[in-house]
């Protein structure tokens, strides 16, 4: 039963912990390169969260706009060094003027928007001619269940992700139907985390509210998944086997240009 939703207002104060200074994010480099390619003066991130990527794009322009559903996340984004123009709204109905942006993108957010096609249509409306739309994130349709151990241990999570996330193929189709040209999908980052044995229990992504994947589970289903992990560990220990919990995720970027 899916009774939880991830409450971004609640996790907002700690959200930036997922962006340690030591990490050089390749998806950020892909965004920077794209912003330079389209000579972006005005940029909008939809589902902009704490403004981490917008702040990075401050290297290219100070015309930085963010829209998010969560006021808690918007409050955090106000603390970024780059001055961001932030508003509250939803990804399928963007309260902004047509033909305003050179670059419009979302990162790890489209699966929350519900109607993905409506977001693509709104993006087309808001972009200037020659502007680019980039949708960055995980595509469970291009992965299999064994790529992320959470899919194996927690009931319903993989199937729910297949429903929530659009495939790269669908995104390209919608982009083309809305009028985008030169569409493409590429992998912009490969995440690889290997947890050996009991160390898996310290994986921060195993917390009930750390990702929307687990936050969507009710307490009983979540605890059943945790129990399955503990059971597997106990069995491996009894046999003196080394058990590995693997998270290997390709981060994709679907891209299209408004003629
Ligand atoms: C996983 S976070 C990603 C935040 C940011 N893009 C990043 O990569 O750090 C997803 C974001 O989408 C926002 N969100 C959820 N539903 C939304 C909606 N319907 N419209 C706009 N933003 C939404 C959440 O509040 C949250 O800030």
Domains in the chain, please, with CATH? 8-257 (3.40.50.150)
Output the CA 111–ligand 1 centroid distance in Å. 9
Q: Does residue 196 have a pLDDT over 60?
A: yes
Mean pLDDT value of segment 124-139: 98
Quick check: CB of 112 below 6 Å from ligand 1? yes
pLDDT digits (tens, 9 = 90+) for 94-120: 999 999 999 999 999 999 999 999 999
Which residue is closest in CA terms to ligand 1's atom 27? 49
Output the CA 126–ligand 1 centroid distance in Å. 19
pTM value?
0.95
Quick check: CB of 105 below 6 Å from ligand 1? no
Mean pLDDT value of segment 79-97: 97
Quick check: CB of 90 below 6 Å from ligand 1? yes
Question: Confidence class of residue 3 from pLDDT cuts 50, 70 and 90?
Answer: very low
> What was the pLDDT predicted at 70?
96
Mean pLDDT estimate for the chain = 94
Output the CA 257–ligand 1 centroid distance in Å. 23
Question: Confidence class of residue 29 from pLDDT cuts 50, 70 and 90?
Answer: very high
Q: Does residue 1 have a pLDDT over 70?
A: no
Q: Does residue 4 have a pLDDT over 60?
A: no
Pocket test for ligand 1, best of 13, 109, 116, 253 (most atoms within 8 A of CB): 109
Which residue is closest in CA terms to ligand 1's atom 15? 112
> What was the pLDDT predicted at 200?
95
Question: Confidence class of residue 2 from pLDDT cuts 50, 70 and 90?
Answer: very low
> What was the pLDDT predicted at 62?
97
Q: Does residue 146 have a pLDDT over 90?
A: no
Q: Does residue 220 have a pLDDT over 50?
A: yes
DSSP of the chain, one letter per residue? -------HHHHGGGGGGGS-TT---HHHHHHHHHHHHTT-SEEEEET-TTSHHHHHGGGT-SEEEEEES-HHHHHHHTTSSS--EEEE-BTTB--S-TT-EEEEEEES-GGGSS-HHHHHHHHHHHEEEEEEEEEEEE-GGGS-GGGBHHHHHSTTHHHHHHHHSPPHHHHHHHHHHHT-EEEEEEEEEEEEEEEEGGGGGG-GGGSTTTSHHHHTS-HHHHHHHHHHHHHHHHHHHHTT---EEEEEEEEEEEEEE--
Quick check: CB of 51 below 6 Å from ligand 1? no
The residue among 17 and 151 whose pLDDT is bigger is 151
Q: Does residue 20 have a pLDDT over 90?
A: no
Q: Does residue 184 have a pLDDT over 80?
A: yes
Pocket test for ligand 1, best of 14, 18, 19, 47 (most atoms within 8 A of CB): 47
Which residue is closest in CA terms to ligand 1's atom 11? 47
Q: Does residue 54 have a pLDDT over 50?
A: yes
């Amino acid at each position: 039963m899916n009774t939880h939703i991830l409450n971004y207002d609640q996790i907002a104060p700690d959200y930036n912990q997922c962006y340690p200074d030591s990490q050089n994010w390749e998806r950020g480099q892909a965004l920077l390169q794209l912003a330079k390619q389209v000579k972006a003066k005005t940029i909008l991130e939809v589902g902009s969260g704490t403004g981490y990527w917008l702040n990075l794009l401050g290297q290219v322009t100070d015309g930085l706009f963010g829209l998010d559903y969560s006021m808690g996340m918007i409050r955090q984004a106000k603390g970024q060094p780059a001055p961001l123009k932030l508003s509250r709204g939803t990804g399928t109905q963007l309260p902004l003027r047509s033909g305003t942006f050179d670059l419009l993108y979302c990162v790890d957010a489209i699966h929350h928007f519900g109607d993905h096609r409506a977001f693509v249509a709104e993006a087309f409306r808001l972009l200037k001619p020659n502007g680019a739309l980039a949708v960055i994130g995980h595509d469970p349709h291009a992965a299999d269940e064994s790529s992320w151990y959470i899919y194996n241990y927690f009931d319903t999570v993989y199937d729910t992700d297949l429903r929530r996330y659009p495939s790269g193929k669908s995104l390209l189709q919608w982009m083309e139907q809305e009028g985008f040209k030169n569409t493409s999908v590429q992998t912009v980052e490969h995440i690889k985390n290997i947890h050996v044995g009991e160390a898996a229990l310290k994986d921060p992504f195993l917390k009930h509210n750390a990702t929307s994947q687990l936050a969507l589970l009710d307490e009983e289903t979540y605890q059943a998944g945790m129990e399955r992990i503990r059971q597997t560990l106990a069995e491996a220990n009894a046999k003196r086997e080394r058990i590995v919990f693997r998270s290997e995720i390709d981060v994709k970027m679907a891209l299209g240009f408004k003629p």
